[in-house]
Structure 1
Amino acid sequence: MRQWSILLNKEILEMWRSFKWIWVPMTFILLGMMDPLTSYYMPQILDAVGDLPEGTIIEIPTPSAQEVLMMTVNQFNIMGVLVIVLLTMGLISAERKSGVAGMILVKPVSVAYYVTAKWTGALLLLLLSYFLGFLASWYYVGILFEPIPFGDFFIVFMLYGIWLIFVLTVSLFFNAMLKSPGAVAFTSLSVIIILNLVGGLLSHWLKWSPSQLSVYAGSFLTLGELPDEITGTVLISFILIVMLLIFSVFIFRKKELAT
């Protein structure tokens, strides 16, 4: 485990040097603040930039606090997922392409330690950024609309967080498979988009798909209760995350031994 902790500390230090511990949380915080602020001030924004005739009255139905918080989840499901993929597209593939990974693994370094340390470092950054961004949204929703109980906030945070962890692990898997960071980003985004589309079109048959977690989080916010499928969905999501990690280690080891 000492070897693994050294690799993890190296990963965390590299993220500090590249300022990822600053710009990634700031990006999520801005995404989290965006929907509460724009939803509340939309009439004033339209009045200021809409170039409307004098005397025009703008009446926009005020969304509920739950709807605004769900807008943030949808924002994370688009821009947040994109940030995660762009952040991790060179997690392993860039080091493989530059030869750094080969230099590290020439030493008696476990491939499993190397891959899981990369995943854990990215996971810590993701969870911190996601928590701060979602917390900012929850705070402004409470200030501008009405308070949402912290318990509800935490349940939605956990449910959607599992989906983001799944996205991160998918990106890691393609990092282990492909050498080009661009190919990793394209393939990862394609898989995530397909999962979302298929999950939306075939929701009756894919009730336990990880892509349904954001849907169930929204259902909990609006209805105040979780669907019966939530336990199976969470369980399958964790199983898929573990399987993707195992396959990532296996594929990466096989490819490194072949080179």
Structure 2
Amino acid sequence: MSQWFTLLQKELLEMTRNFKWIWVPITFILLGVMDPLSTYYLPQILDSVGGLPEGTVIEIPTPSAAEILMMSIGQYNMLGLLIIVLTSMGIIANERKSGVAGLILVKPVKYSSYITAKWTGALILLWVSYFIGFLVSWYYVGILFDWVPFTDFIKSFFAFGIWLSLVLTITLFFNAFFQSPGVVGFISLGVVIVLNLVSSMLSHLMEWSPAQISSYIGTFLMTNSFPDEMLPAIIVTFISMILLVVGSIYVFQRKELAS
């Protein structure tokens, strides 16, 4: 266990050296405040642009606080997924390509310890950054529009964080296959996009799909009640993460032993 904690500390230190503890939270904050600010100041933005006939009156209905918060979740479900893939597509691939992974594993270090320490470190960065960004979004929604109950915020935070964790785990899985971070990022993002599209088009057949979690959160924020399919979707997500981590260890070990 002490070996595993040493590997985890190495990961957290490496993120500090790469300034990930600075730019990743800042990125999540910007994504979180984008919609509350743009929606609130939209009338002023339209007035400053000009070009409208004199006397023109544009009435824009004010969205509810829940709708604005859901917009922020939508940002995380698009650009946030891209940030997750970009920050994690080289966590193993870079070290395999440079030979650092081989040097670490001859210590000896268990393959399972190496993979799970990488995964845990990336999850810590993700959850801390996501919490800061989503908290700032919730705060600005409350200040500019109305307050979403804090318990609803917490439930939405944890539910959507599970989906984000699966995206990270998918990227980890392909890290075990390929040494090129670019290939890892391209395939991981492609898999996530396909999963989102298929789940959206066949929503009646894929009610338990992890990609449906964001839409279920929207239902919860609007009705204060999660759909019945939410729990099965979360269970499927957890099972998928476990299988992907185990698969990552198995594939990584076979490839390293073969080389």
* TM-score normalized by the length of structure 2: 0.98
**Percent of aligned positions with the same letter in both sequences?**
61
Q: Return the alpha-carbon distance in structure 2 between the equivalents of residues 187 and 155 of structure 1.
A: 31
Aligned partner of 1:165 in structure 2 is 165
What's the secondary structure of 1:177's corresponding residue?
A: coil
Q: How far apart are residue 54 of structure 1 and its match?
A: 3.7
Aligned partner of 1:244 in structure 2 is 244
Q: Return the alpha-carbon distance in structure 2 between the equivalents of residues 40 and 126 of structure 1.
A: 28
Q: Return the alpha-carbon distance in structure 1 between the equivalents of residues 182 and 98 of structure 2.
A: 14
Aligned partner of 1:231 in structure 2 is 231
What's the secondary structure of 1:114's corresponding residue?
A: helix
CA deviations 1:9-43 (Å, max 9, x no partner) are 00000100111001100100111111101011101
What's the secondary structure of 2:176's corresponding residue?
A: helix
Aligned partner of 1:37 in structure 2 is 37
Q: Return the alpha-carbon distance in structure 1 between the equivalents of residues 27 and 253 of structure 2.
A: 34
Q: Structure 1 residues 117, 50: CA separation in 2 closer, same or farther (over 3 Å shift)?
A: farther
Instruction: Give runs of aligned pairs for residues 1-259 of structure 1, distance below 5 A.
Output: 1-259=1-259
CA deviations 1:222-241 (Å, max 9, x no partner) are 11111111111111110110
Q: Return the alpha-carbon distance in structure 1 between the equivalents of residues 212 and 118 of structure 2.
A: 27
Runs of 4+ in 1 over 2 A off after TM superposition: 49-58
Q: How far apart are residue 122 of structure 1 and its match?
A: 0.6
What's the secondary structure of 1:208's corresponding residue?
A: coil
The one-letter amino acid of 1:93's match is A
What's the secondary structure of 1:60's corresponding residue?
A: coil
Structure 1, unaligned runs of 5 or more: none
The one-letter amino acid of 2:40's match is Y
Q: How far apart are residue 53 of structure 1 and its match?
A: 3.5
The one-letter amino acid of 2:168's match is L
**Paired residue total:** 259
Report which stretch shifted further, 181-190 or 99-108.
99-108
The one-letter amino acid of 1:144's match is L
Q: How far apart are residue 3 of structure 1 and its match?
A: 0.3
The one-letter amino acid of 2:8's match is L
Structure 2, unaligned runs of 5 or more: none
Q: Return the alpha-carbon distance in structure 2 between the equivalents of residues 200 and 49 of structure 1.
A: 36
Q: How far apart are residue 50 of structure 1 and its match?
A: 4.3
* TM-score normalized by the length of structure 1: 0.98
The one-letter amino acid of 1:25's match is P
